[in-house]
């Protein structure tokens, strides 16, 4: 099985990261800017490059905005959630994990991956059903973060939460009915942060599994934030509190 990474920055990050690439497709007439570096790195790593018509590339990536270049890669591999915990251990850090409860929009998942990379989260956990996986659109939306953020795909989020608790993780969910304000809660130590789906938010069973719920104040007329925005707000508050604790 294979997939495509599309867009210049995601492909550059994949090349820098040493991701296995079968072939790079370049639309005719696209040979400026960062494409030059892509072609140079492809040559250096002996990756085949094929020049094709733009219309053909449009068809291959189903009309997505490819910026004139696409890379054929093996289908994205997932990790086990235990691997994410091991990554934290190897770094000598308290686990910082994001759990996404049925996120369906690939752009939201990609944006959350960018945030996860920026704040130093050790990985993301997503469900196998009723949720977007690691697609080409997600890879592009992540702007390369997909190469650095491990993702575990699990059958049962609730069971994984129980296992994380047994490993010493506190589990917090962002919810507009939360009993604590996001910036008045101890968000340090081993932590798993749950972000709900677009529209439905965090499911009832998942809420019951969480140690506590936090809310982000809303001053306007819209009752909730976009999932990726809520994730960014909460992740940066977690990062702020962790750094404050480290700095005394």
Residue ranges covered by each domain of the chain:
2-74, 81-246
Report the side by side order of strands in the sheet with 212-215. 151-154, 123-127, 96-100, 191-195, 170-174, 212-215, 180-181
**Least confident piece of the model among 2-6, 9-13, 139-143, 227-231:** 2-6
**Rounded-to-integer distance, Cα 57 and Cα 71, Å:** 11
**Rounded-to-integer distance, Cα 92 and Cα 89, Å:** 5
Report the side by side order of strands in the sheet with 2-6. 2-6, 69-74, 23-27, 49-52
**Residue 188 has what pLDDT?**
87
> Which residues sit opposite 98 in a β-bridge?
124, 193
Would the pLDDT of 210 be above 50?
Answer: yes
Would the pLDDT of 192 be above 90?
Answer: yes
Number of H helices and number of E strands within the chain? 9, 11
What would be the CATH architecture of the domain defined by 2-74? Answer: 2-Layer Sandwich (3.30)
Sequence-ordered list of residues with C-beta below 8 angstroms from that of 28, at least 6 positions apart, any chain: 51, 52, 53, 54
Would the pLDDT of 165 be above 70?
Answer: yes
Instruction: Please write the tens of the pLDDT for every residue from 115-137.
Output: 999 999 999 999 988 888 888 78
Q: Which residue has the higher pLDDT, 157 or 185?
A: 157
pLDDT confidence tier of residue 75, bands split at 50, 70 and 90: low
Percent of the chain topping pLDDT 90: 61
**Residue 1 has what pLDDT?**
46
**Rounded-to-integer distance, Cα 202 and Cα 215, Å:** 12
Enter the tokens of residue 2.
């294979």
Would the pLDDT of 170 be above 80?
Answer: yes
Would the pLDDT of 244 be above 80?
Answer: yes
- Determine the CATH number of domain 81-246: 3.40.1280.10
**Rounded-to-integer distance, Cα 219 and Cα 221, Å:** 7
**Residue 178 has what pLDDT?**
76
Q: Over the chain, what is the mean pLDDT?
A: 90
**Residue 197 has what pLDDT?**
87
């Amino acid at each position: 099985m294979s997939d495509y990474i599309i867009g210049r920055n995601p492909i550059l990050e994949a090349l820098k990261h040493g991701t296995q690439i079968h072939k790079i497709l370049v639309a005719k007439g696209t040979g400026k800017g960062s494409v030059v570096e892509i072609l140079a790195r492809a040559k250096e790593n002996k990756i085949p490059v094929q020049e094709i018509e733009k219309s053909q590339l449009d068809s291959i990536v189903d009309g997505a905005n490819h910026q004139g270049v696409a890379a054929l890669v093996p289908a994205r591999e997932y990790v086990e959630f235990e691997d994410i915990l091991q990554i934290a251990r190897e770094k000598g850090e308290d686990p910082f994990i994001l759990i996404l409860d049925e996120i369906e929009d690939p752009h939201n998942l990609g944006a959350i991956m960018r945030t996860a990379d920026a704040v130093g989260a050790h990985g993301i956990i997503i469900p196998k059903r009723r949720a977007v996986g690691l697609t080409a659109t997600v890879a592009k939306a992540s702007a390369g973060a997909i190469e650095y953020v491990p993702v575990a795909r699990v059958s049962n989020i609730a069971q994984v939460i129980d296992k994380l608790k047994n490993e010493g993780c506190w589990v917090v969910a962002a919810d507009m009915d939360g009993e604590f304000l996001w910036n008045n809660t101890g968000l340090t130590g081993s932590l798993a942060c749950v972000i709900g789906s677009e529209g439905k938010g965090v499911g009832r069973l998942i809420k019951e599994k969480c140690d506590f719920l936090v809310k982000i104040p809303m001053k306007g007329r819209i009752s909730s934030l976009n999932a990726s925005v809520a994730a960014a707000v909460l992740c940066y508050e977690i990062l702020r509190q962790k750094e404050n604790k480290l700095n005394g």
